[in-house]
Amino acid sequence: MEGRVNRYIEDSFEKIASSYSQGVIQNEIAAVNIKVLQNNKMVDKKISEDELYRMFMKKVNYSKISTFSDGSASLMMCSNKVTKKYKLTPICKIRSIYNSCRVYNNSSDSNSATNGDIDGIVSDIGECVKEYRENNVDIFEILDQNVLIPILVSKSSGIDLSRVNLQGGTIAIGHALGATGLRQIINVITSLKMKNLRFGLVVGNNLIGDSIGILIENCI
């Protein structure tokens, strides 16, 4: 299992590096200007990419998993009525939302989704995946703050890992609390658009025991 874990992590960082080099993830990023100290004075610096993956590409192993990080994401969602009223062109549609819930066996640890009932999490996420197997899902974005989750889900659900987390997932991008779900959806939308695919499934879980699957359809 250790070999599979390390290989998965290496693949995750290779995916995000490839996404940058091919100009894919740049479609999702809004550059920001910050003040930094340089030569004893504050200067402007433009941040237009995540610098984290470059540091980890040199040596990647289980200890190099991205932890909680700063970040934000935004999407505009509206009904068909609103899109028609304001003549908007949707890029994707949320076709369905599925929820599976349990109480994790980890009352002593607040970070249940990372270190708690892995079997329970895998079972719930696998249930979300199973719910949509007949929809001919092309790609999957599975929250992987614990690297074992996508590996075990792919095994139990018969999904090739090459179809999972095409831009590296949480491990390579980071786990920005409160924004990760939107980041997952944005990653799926970008991948569907770039590869001209139709369906993507976003699956995640939170600290209280909810696993949620969201089926995204590309408006090709």
Which residue stretches of the chain are H helix? 2-21, 52-56, 80-85, 112-115, 118-131, 148-157, 169-173, 180-195
CB-neighbour burial class of residue 189 (10 A; exposed 0-12, middle 13-18, buried 19+) = buried
25 and 54 in a common domain: yes
Angle between helices 118-131 and 148-157 (to 10 degrees): 50
The pLDDT tens digits of the residues spanning 20-49 come to 888 888 888 888 888 988 888 999 998 887
**Residue-wise pLDDT tens digits, 120-141:** 777 777 777 777 765 688 999 9
Q: What's the confidence (pLDDT) of residue 206?
A: 72
pTM (two decimals): 0.79
Q: Is 103 helix (H, G, I), strand (E, B) or coil?
A: coil
Residue 75 domain-assigned (yes or no): no
- Residues 129, 37 share a domain: no
Handedness of CA 77, 189, 156, 170 (dihedral sign): negative
**Mean pLDDT, all residues of the chain:** 80
Statement to judge: residues 144 and 48 lie in one domain: no
Looking at the structure of the chain, the number of domains it has is 2
Which is it for strands 41-47 and 139-142: parallel, antiparallel or unpaired? unpaired
- Domain stop point among 17, 37, 65: 65
User: What's the start-to-end Cα distance of the chain, in Å?
Assistant: 39
The verdict on 45 and 90 lying in the same domain is no
The CA-based angle 50-51-54, given to 5 degrees, is 120
Domain with 92 in it = 80-218
